[in-house]
A and B are shown apart, each in its own frame.
Chain A
Amino acid sequence: LAKTTQPISMDSYEGQEVNITCSHNNIATNDYITWYQQFPSQGPRFIIQGYKTKVTNEVASLFIPADRKSSTLSLPRVSLSDTAVYYCLVGDIGNTGKLIFGQGTTLQVKP
């Protein structure tokens, strides 16, 4: 499994765009990049997933450069309710079944 590195914490204000970058230098050819969000006292929930270039859904965008050694989760115009821990996962999880979470990035959105 590719090791991931992401900031421990970030602060933002309501209405701003937040970008959380994850480094995964030893990503393998078959690995996908997946992001989860966890609110306090709840289990994580899937946000977005990608292999290369850009993926966008109703919650976030995921930017992956050509070398795939990093990825950036972008949250447009955050609100207080986006305060959560965000986890970056990299692996061939669908094939191996091994789902490993790192430390995650704690995002605090302030009014």
Chain B
Amino acid sequence: NAGVTQTPKFRVLKTGQSMTLLCAQDMNHEYMYWYRQDPGMGLRLIHYSVGEGTTAKGEVPDGYNVSRLKKQNFLLGLESAAPSQTSVYFCASSYSSGRGLNAEAFFGQGTRLTVV
């Protein structure tokens, strides 16, 4: 059981280049998330999705786009990378528990991105 898998694990980009980070989960979860974490900081929500075909902006969405064409995959795109986007990116997923008890979120191992 793989859980949440992020691809790639490491990447170095030049300023202005584009790339896509892939998050795949095999738990049939409805909710999926993309976060960034800068050194010494907490996680900041970039975008999230509450179901296939739906996405929503989080706390820091500028400079990123996402797509959720399949329930198990959540893609994060950087159209024109900037040094300020150097960070560790985490993907997470959880099921929709509805009103009440919050479902446990499961995280991937992270993608370390450096933009030079």
Contact = CB atoms under 8 A, between A and B. Distances in A.
A98 B49 CA distance: 9
B74 interface: no
A81 interface: no
B42 A101 contact: yes
B103 A94 contact: yes
A103 to B, nearest CB: 5
Contacts of B42: 85, 87, 101-104
A83 interface: no
B103 to A, nearest CB: 6
Given A98-B45, A99-B33, A100-B59, A43 B110 contact: yes
A101 B104 contact: no
B101 A49 contact: yes
Contacts of A98: 45, 48, 56, 58
B104 A46 contact: yes
Contacts of B41: 103
B38 to A, nearest CB: 12
**Size bracket of the B interface:** 20 to 34
Interface in A76-111: 85, 87, 89, 91-95, 97-104
Contact of B94 (A92, A99, A103): A99
Contacts, number: 83
B48 A94 contact: no
Nearest to B97: A94
Contact of B107 (A45, A91, A92): A45
Interface string A13-24: 000000000000
**Size bracket of the A interface:** 20 to 34
Interface string B52-85: 0000101100000000000000000000000000
B87 to A, nearest CB: 13
Contact of B102 (A49, A87, A103): A49
B101 A94 contact: yes
A97 B105 contact: no
A99 B45 contact: yes
Contacts of A103: 41-42
